[in-house]
Amino acid sequence: MFNGIFHIREPQNEPVLSYAPGTKERAELKAALEDMKRNSVEIPCIIGGKEIRTGNLVEMRAPHDRSLVLGYYHRAGTTEAEMAIAAANEAKHAWSEMDWSSRATVLLKAAELLSGKYRQTLNAATMLCMSKSCHQAEIDSACELIDFWRFNPYFMTQVYDDQPISTKDVLNYMEHRPLEGFVFAISPFNFTSIAGNLPTAPALMGNAVVWKPSSNAVLPAYYIMKILKEAGMPDGVINMIPGPGPLVAPPVLNHLDLGGVHFTGSTYVFSTIWLTIGSDIRKYYSYPRIVGETGGKDFIIAHVSADEDALIAAIVRGAFEYQGQKCSAPSRIYIPDTLWTRMRDKLLDEIATIKVGDVCDFSNFMNAVIDEESFDKIVDYIEFARNRPDHKIICGGTYDKSEGFFINPTVIITEDPRSKLMCEEIFGPVVTVFIYPENEYDEALELCDTTSPYGLTGAVFAIDRLAIERAIDVLRHAAGNFYVNDKPTGAIVGQQPFGGSRASGTNDKAGSWLNLERWVSPRAIKETFLPPRDYRYPFMQEP
Ligand code: NAD
């Protein structure tokens, strides 16, 4: 029992290190990369704190160098899924009864460990396993995850601080209970920070978690488990069971104790999960909380008054960093004809300077896409465009999977504003531009709002304030994260709470108290000091 009022001060965002030549961090990261390339690892399932080896070994290779084996992981199956649920249920009581400040200290300590001695381990794992450049790894596996682990304890106090009013003789209070049952966290391949946040956000609020990381990102997931263990996370609070979703997920999703799902990934998989739960909703002890952040078809719309250099930089960084594999990456652009004429050659000249290759060569701005399935899917979109007279590939459109899954940055012009390239999530380095007549800005905004089913991120580029206001107004529901004169990627915890609606998810805003609120089930308690001792009301008396 802790007697004292514990305060968590508002955190600052973790500074992004530069990795410029001659810096300490560059030397340390290079050493960590070499070490990880030389020493392959064997990763077990981690259930109730124990390492479980199933013997179903799956090889992990670097997407940019198919000859580089990073190690193997033991694939979980139904047995391990059931063991993980049992371990979570067992660990839940002691963890949820623990003082909230003690739970907070585990994540605060994890943040310090990651900011220090584990920084380059997790960055190197993210770079090699997911093919991220050092900068992309630094802003993800270091800074964003540190921020999640420092800010969420602070946001937790905001949730707990929400208390009802009381009167002279009645005390009202609210207990923010964890959900009944366990939470199932299912994470995507593309962000180590999201992988680390999906299980730890519900755990912080007193829940126990079964976590299925992406099969393409098991290496960083393993190091996240190590950091949490060293930070003092009790055994069984988070149980890691790597393996393919269709195999591992069904026994967990169908368990009667399922209290919630914390998912990030594609729209299709999320709707499958929702359908699975909904198909027999009466069997659960409570309605499972379903939180899912999903796909996007993010946009940039430029007004004729836009600053063209800022627009070009936003397109290049937004669409091509991490090979366009960010849920927030702009992949459809609307540009007025006169502006396009002025900027076209400059944009193409900039893209021509981009180098694509291995993550260990720091001069590469882009690396490989995650796997062969993804490579083939992106190539299909490129070939679709090549074979259509109303589409024109004006740069890139070339690819090679002989050594790694490399696709060059590609720009396509379409005359069809509702082409599938303007509607569907491609999740690769392919951006499609629709050029509209300068005097049809309102029509372009309307198109932008109604073309795709998603509503995740978007940006307007304009100097003219009326044009900015018009975009903010018309595109109200087109993006849950909207940017004015900036690229629509790179949301920062505590600054731009992240998430979208429509087909992009439940918009529960990772990196804010709104997400944590989903992992509690509040109990309102009324305590009356002087209760009535007679049932009769004054109005019942005879005059
Ligand atoms: P994915 O949907 O293929 O996989 C996500 C997770 O779901 C993985 O762990 C996967 O193994 C699992 N899974 C697959 N089939 C399943 C099933 N039938 N049942 C249960 N789980 C299953 O997504 P991905 O390729 O890993 O990630 C890319 C997608 O994630 C893109 O659509 C991207 O837009 C989205 N994303 C969204 C956000 C966001 O905040 N909105 C952030 C990152 C990624």
- The 10s digit of each residue's pLDDT in 441-453 is 999 999 999 999 9
pLDDT digits (tens, 9 = 90+) for 312-363: 999 999 999 999 999 999 999 999 999 999 999 999 999 999 999 999 999 9
Residue among 145, 189, 290 to mutate when testing ligand 1 (max atoms within 8 A of CB) = 189
* Burial readout 420-441 (b: 16 or more C-beta within 10 A, e: otherwise): ebbebbbbbbbbbbbbbeeeeb
Residue among 58, 255, 261, 266 to mutate when testing ligand 1 (max atoms within 8 A of CB) = 266
Q: Phi and psi dihedrals of 94, rounded to 5?
A: -60, -40
Contact status, residue 290 vs residue 274, Cβ threshold 8 Å: yes
pTM listed for this prediction = 0.98
Task: Give residue 3's pLDDT.
Answer: 87
Rounded to whole angstroms, how far apart are CA atoms 139 and 19?
A: 12
Distance 189 CA to ligand 1 centre (A): 7
Distance 398 CA to ligand 1 centre (A): 26
- When pLDDT is averaged across residues 28-38 and rounded to a whole number, the result is 98
In the predicted structure, residue 166 carries a pLDDT above the cut 90: yes
- When pLDDT is averaged across residues 146-173 and rounded to a whole number, the result is 97
Give the atom of ligand 1 at the shortest distance from the alpha carbon of 269.
2
pLDDT digits (tens, 9 = 90+) for 487-498: 999 999 999 999
How does residue 106 score in pLDDT terms, banded at 50, 70 and 90?
A: very high
Q: Ligand 1: which residue has its CA nearest to atom 12?
A: 245
Share above pLDDT 70 across residues of the chain, in percent, rounded to a whole number = 100
CA nearest to 339, candidates 359, 372, 311: 311
Which SS3 state, helix, strand or coil, does residue 268 take? Answer: helix
Q: Is 497 in the pocket of ligand 1 (CB under 6 A)?
A: no
C-alpha distance from residue 365 to each of 323, 362, 433, 489 (Å)? 9, 8, 22, 16
Q: Is 191 in the pocket of ligand 1 (CB under 6 A)?
A: yes
Task: Give residue 6's pLDDT.
Answer: 87
Q: What is the mean pLDDT of the chain?
A: 98
Q: Is 272 in the pocket of ligand 1 (CB under 6 A)?
A: yes
In the predicted structure, residue 195 carries a pLDDT above the cut 80: yes
pLDDT digits (tens, 9 = 90+) for 258-311: 999 999 999 999 999 999 999 999 999 999 999 999 999 999 999 999 999 999
Q: Does residue 438 have an active-site annotation?
A: no
Give the atom of ligand 1 at the shortest distance from the alpha carbon of 212.
9
Q: Mind giving me the DSSP string for 116-171?
A: TTTHHHHHHHHHHHHT--HHHHIIIIIIIHHHHHHHHHHHHHHHHH------SSEE
Q: Is 186 in the pocket of ligand 1 (CB under 6 A)?
A: yes
Distance 180 CA to ligand 1 centre (A): 25
How does residue 525 score in pLDDT terms, banded at 50, 70 and 90?
A: very high
Catalytic residue among 327, 425, 448, 517: 327
Q: Quick one: CA dihedral 242, 266, 133, 106, positive or negative?
A: negative
Q: Is 212 in the pocket of ligand 1 (CB under 6 A)?
A: yes
Distance 67 CA to ligand 1 centre (A): 26
Share above pLDDT 90 across residues of the chain, in percent, rounded to a whole number = 98
Q: Is 329 in the pocket of ligand 1 (CB under 6 A)?
A: no
Task: Give residue 502's pLDDT.
Answer: 98
Task: Give residue 506's pLDDT.
Answer: 98
Distance 264 CA to ligand 1 centre (A): 6
Q: Is 246 in the pocket of ligand 1 (CB under 6 A)?
A: yes
Task: Give residue 2's pLDDT.
Answer: 78
Q: Is 266 in the pocket of ligand 1 (CB under 6 A)?
A: yes
Q: Ligand 1: which residue has its CA nearest to atom 23?
A: 265
Distance 266 CA to ligand 1 centre (A): 4
- CA 307-308-309 angle, to 5 degrees, is 95
List, in order of start, the domains of the chain with CATH numbers. 29-294+505-522 (3.40.605.10), 298-484 (3.40.309.10)
Distance 82 CA to ligand 1 centre (A): 22
How does residue 521 score in pLDDT terms, banded at 50, 70 and 90?
A: very high
Distance 357 CA to ligand 1 centre (A): 25
Q: Does residue 143 have an active-site annotation?
A: no
Q: Is 456 in the pocket of ligand 1 (CB under 6 A)?
A: yes
Q: What is the DSSP letter of 361?
A: S
Task: Give residue 167's pLDDT.
Answer: 97
- When pLDDT is averaged across residues 55-60 and rounded to a whole number, the result is 98
In the predicted structure, residue 1 carries a pLDDT above the cut 80: no
Q: Is 276 in the pocket of ligand 1 (CB under 6 A)?
A: no
CA nearest to 457, candidates 421, 418, 504, 495: 504
Q: What is the DSSP letter of 336?
A: E
Residue among 141, 187, 194, 269 to mutate when testing ligand 1 (max atoms within 8 A of CB) = 269
Q: What is the DSSP letter of 205?
A: T
